[in-house]
Structure 1
Amino acid sequence: MERQPGPVRGKLQIFQKTEKEPQARAGSPVQEYHTALVAGDLDHLKSLMDQFFQDANVVFEINKDEMEWQVKSPATFGLSGLWTLEYKRELTTPLCIAAAHGHTACVRHLLGRGADPDASPGGRGALHEACLGGHTACVRLLLQHRADPDLLSAEGLAPLHLCRTAASLGCAQALLEHGASVQRVGGTGRDTPLHVAAQRGLDEHARLYLGRGAHVDARNGRGETALSAACGAARRPDEHGRCLRLCALLLRRGAEADARDEDERSPLHKACGHASHSLARLLLRHGADAGALDYGGASPLGRVLQTASCALQASPQLTVQALLNHGSPTVWPDAFPKVLKTCASVPAVIEVLFNSYPQLCVSESWKEMIPEEVFQMHKPFYQSLFALAHTPRCLQHLCRCALRRLFGKRCFDLIPLLPLPKPLQNYLLLEPQGVLH
């Protein structure tokens, strides 16, 4: 008669392949235990624990069919030291697995069987895993069983730092209700939860943290405020509205619009680096300096000109227009050919910038800066540009420049107040027309 295995304690080994394969129910008790936890099969989990796994705090060692470089001796400089290529290995607990998958009933059962809510053999505890997955019910259950709301992971991150999705708002609320610190810095970047919310464009999280006393201008390890972090994060088009609401919230709560990071870049530099005209306008309305220079000598205008050809869908000419209407210094005339070469595929940017000069000497040699296919694609504009070679600008344009020089940094505010038809106001505000006169 075959002998049944006895109760298991200590460490359980699982071997996983990278490709997704259906796991058979039949197999070793260890594999079945892991499968039941992942699937949330409470009945099978109870049966296995009664028969084999009375200790709810066993540790799974999951060996994956992937390899990674691991350091074996301390580095003295850079990446020096002894490194070896080994299979990936993950240590975790049944509670962490159940919490990561949001299986509340399994989490409740494991806690009832004495599972340690703060156990984190692999560097993250069950609270961390539940927050990453946005599983509010699991978070509340763990906190009710006295899980530490400020438990740090191996990376130095508290559970609040792992509330990184819109679905995790309830998790963040639960953590704060149980005493989590909203000011705690974490990880190598020394971000606060507000920084994390800003980087992810989570406006409701930010509102929650600010309501709980988060410092709106707290700095992380890179010298960034939450506003700076929000402006520097790349966004998908569908996230722009949420990011704009977030930045508006931070500014209403007193965020410094011109806060500089360790590279002396302001939020406006970063918004312009993504050619985000709506965000740039918001910052400019709150007093951001359109002429600020970073450590590399780049201005916000320089940043948007660098990225214009890669951000056609963002309409970079609108950002250029906003900056110039708020007093940004224009490009040094001798550098205009370089701008022409960089932004040739975005003639609207060239037009707005060119019209910010009273007179700019057009050279036939500039044609060499424009690829032939680009010239043909935007032929009416470039023909109008080179038609101005050795020709003074029209009187209407010179009057526009005189008015703009008079209004200076307040063009955006004062020109709309003039008793002029809307098309003429737009002309004064450098609205592109498609050709030059």
Structure 2
Amino acid sequence: MKRRPEAVRGKLQIFQEMEKESRLREKPPELEYHAALIRGELGHVQPLMDQLFPDANVVFEIRKEEMEWQAESPATFGLSGLWTLEYKRELTTPLRIAAAHGHTACVRHLLDRGADPDATPGGRGALHEACLGAHTACARLLLRHRADPDLASADGLAPLHLCRAPASLGCAEALLEHGASVQQAGGTGQDTPLHVAAQHGLDDHARLYLDCRARVDARNSRGETALSLACGAAQRLDDLEHTRGLRLCALLLQHGAAVDARDEDERTPLHKACGHAQHSLVRLLLLHGAHAGALDYGGASPLARALQAAACAPAAAAQSTIQVLLNHGSPTVWPDAFPKVLRTCALVPAVIEVLVNSYTQLRVSESWKEMIPDEVYQMHQPFYQSLFTLAHTPRCLQHLCRCSLRKIFGKKCFDLVPLLPLPMPLKNYMLLEPEGVLH
């Protein structure tokens, strides 16, 4: 007669080798239990708990081997680094596994069997996992069983910090309904939930937190506000996320966010938006009074940041960013530095055109041709021929009149030029709209 296995309490160990071997023979019961929890098979979980695993707080110790890339100094491993085999050890609980995969029925069964909703072996609790996976039903169930809404993980993160996806809005609402702190700073960066929402372009989350009186200008350990983080994250967002990010920045500004708040590097939100050539965001910040001539710790202006980004940004975005900065009173590039700009931005002649037209008279040198690769010159020959023609002729009277009016209007060009009784082509000319050649 086959002997019935004894009930297991305490810790269950799962090794990578066990998973490989189980394909060839019958799975060990602990591996079956683990797999059933991952798949959410309550009909399989219940008998296993009844017969073998009655302790709902049993701890899984999962060990596996993983290849990791170790970056080392060139003197040690050449120019690249070294692949090393690392042994990983992870501690978790049945409740954490079920919550991480959104299996509400399994979560309910485990809680009814006495699972501790605040157990944190491995550094995170079940509520952290539910929020990270955006499983609202699981989060609400855990909270109804008195899970701590502000439980800190080993990294110092509360569940609200892990609401990082648009679908996690329901989790955030549930946490706040159960008393979670919207002001709590956590993690190595000491970010608040509003910082997290800003970093991930979550405008609905940000609105929720602000409605719960989150401090709009709270700073993290790097001196960044939510607005600063939102502008810095703009490069990583796709079109849909960019729209949400733009709404988020507008929302923060409507709630009184300091438009010129500086981080530890003295960079403003405008510096960060320009560094990604996000012209819509740049325009929004300038319309709210951002200082177009602010200098960061390294002496760089927003215009300098936009020029650095021009070579790798979409041409239209780079040109529009620089154009809107100049129309809001940004100082132009020091003439002696223009050859360097030409070298960096040669592929984007519209940027060069806008910059050249921001000077009353720029002393163009034939030697600047050396800054432009031959293939780029050939690709944009009409424009560059018109540029180097200026080495021998003064600018036209129309351009000089434009410069005189722009000097009078100063940083109000963007607001005042549209009010002039002029045809639209002339208004565009006044606002430095590129024409493809210089006169």
**Fold match (TM-score > 0.5):** yes
Separation in 2 of the partners of 1:112 and 1:121? Answer: 20
Residues 415 and 425 of structure 1 are in contact (CA less than 8 Å); yes or no, is this contact kept in structure 2? yes
Separation in 1 of the partners of 2:364 and 2:212? Answer: 58
- The 5-angstrom pairing of residues 272-421 of structure 1 reads 272-312=274-314, 315-421=317-423
Q: Which residue of 2 aligns with 1:34?
A: 34
Residues 22 and 28 of structure 2 are in contact (CA less than 8 Å); yes or no, is this contact kept in structure 1? no
Separation in 1 of the partners of 2:20 and 2:52? Answer: 27
Residues 276 and 314 of structure 1 are in contact (CA less than 8 Å); yes or no, is this contact kept in structure 2? no
Q: Which residue of 2 aligns with 1:76?
A: none
- The 5-angstrom pairing of residues 97-176 of structure 1 reads 97-176=97-176
Separation in 1 of the partners of 2:16 and 2:326? Answer: 58
How far off its partner does 1:69 sit?
9.8
Q: Which residue of 2 aligns with 1:235?
A: 236
How far off its partner does 1:345 sit?
0.6
Separation in 1 of the partners of 2:374 and 2:68? Answer: 47
Separation in 2 of the partners of 1:322 and 1:139? Answer: 45
**Paired residue type of 1:409:** K
Distance 1:175 1:319, change over 3 A: same
Once the two structures are superposed, residues 298-323 of structure 1 have per-residue CA deviations (whole angstroms, 9 ceiling, x without a partner) of 00000000110011256201000000
Alignment partner of 1:122: what SS?
Answer: helix
Distance 1:68 1:325, change over 3 A: same
How far off its partner does 1:192 sit?
0.1
How far off its partner does 1:124 sit?
0.5
**Paired residue type of 2:210:** L
Once the two structures are superposed, residues 7-58 of structure 1 have per-residue CA deviations (whole angstroms, 9 ceiling, x without a partner) of 00111111237x9999789411100000000000000000100010000000
Distance 1:179 1:271, change over 3 A: same
Distance 1:170 1:25, change over 3 A: farther
**Paired residue type of 2:247:** R
- The 5-angstrom pairing of residues 146-225 of structure 1 reads 146-225=146-225
Residues 190 and 221 of structure 1 are in contact (CA less than 8 Å); yes or no, is this contact kept in structure 2? yes
Q: Which residue of 2 aligns with 1:270?
A: 272
Residues 102 and 133 of structure 1 are in contact (CA less than 8 Å); yes or no, is this contact kept in structure 2? yes
Residues 315 and 348 of structure 2 are in contact (CA less than 8 Å); yes or no, is this contact kept in structure 1? no
Q: Structure 2: where are the runs of 5+ without partners?
A: 71-83
How far off its partner does 1:65 sit?
2.2
Provide runs of 4+ in structure 1 moved above 6 Å. 19-25
Residues 68 and 88 of structure 1 are in contact (CA less than 8 Å); yes or no, is this contact kept in structure 2? no
TM-score of the pair, normalised by structure 2: 0.94
Alignment partner of 1:87: what SS?
Answer: strand
Report the count of equivalent residues. 424
**Paired residue type of 2:403:** C
Separation in 2 of the partners of 1:257 and 1:190? Answer: 21
Alignment partner of 2:157: what SS?
Answer: coil
How far off its partner does 1:5 sit?
1.3
Separation in 2 of the partners of 1:235 and 1:313? Answer: 18
**Paired residue type of 1:128:** H
Distance 1:23 1:306, change over 3 A: farther
Q: Which residue of 1 aligns with 2:47?
A: 47
Separation in 1 of the partners of 2:323 and 2:22? Answer: 56
How far off its partner does 1:387 sit?
1.2
**Paired residue type of 1:40:** G
How far off its partner does 1:4 sit?
2.2
Residues 150 and 181 of structure 2 are in contact (CA less than 8 Å); yes or no, is this contact kept in structure 1? yes
Distance 1:256 1:23, change over 3 A: farther
Q: Which residue of 1 aligns with 2:62?
A: 62
Q: Which residue of 2 aligns with 1:77?
A: none
Alignment partner of 1:389: what SS?
Answer: coil
Separation in 1 of the partners of 2:319 and 2:174? Answer: 44
Alignment partner of 1:310: what SS?
Answer: coil
Residues 68 and 87 of structure 1 are in contact (CA less than 8 Å); yes or no, is this contact kept in structure 2? no
Distance 1:314 1:38, change over 3 A: farther
**Paired residue type of 2:331:** P
Distance 1:227 1:384, change over 3 A: same
Once the two structures are superposed, residues 205-247 of structure 1 have per-residue CA deviations (whole angstroms, 9 ceiling, x without a partner) of 0000000010000001100010000000133332211110000
Distance 1:150 1:21, change over 3 A: farther
Q: Which residue of 2 aligns with 1:15?
A: 15
Separation in 2 of the partners of 1:369 and 1:13? Answer: 64
**Paired residue type of 1:269:** H
Once the two structures are superposed, residues 62-113 of structure 1 have per-residue CA deviations (whole angstroms, 9 ceiling, x without a partner) of 112215699xxxxxxxxxxxxx974011100000000000000000000000
Separation in 1 of the partners of 2:37 and 2:307? Answer: 53
Separation in 1 of the partners of 2:201 and 2:361? Answer: 43
**Paired residue type of 2:237:** R
Alignment partner of 2:311: what SS?
Answer: helix
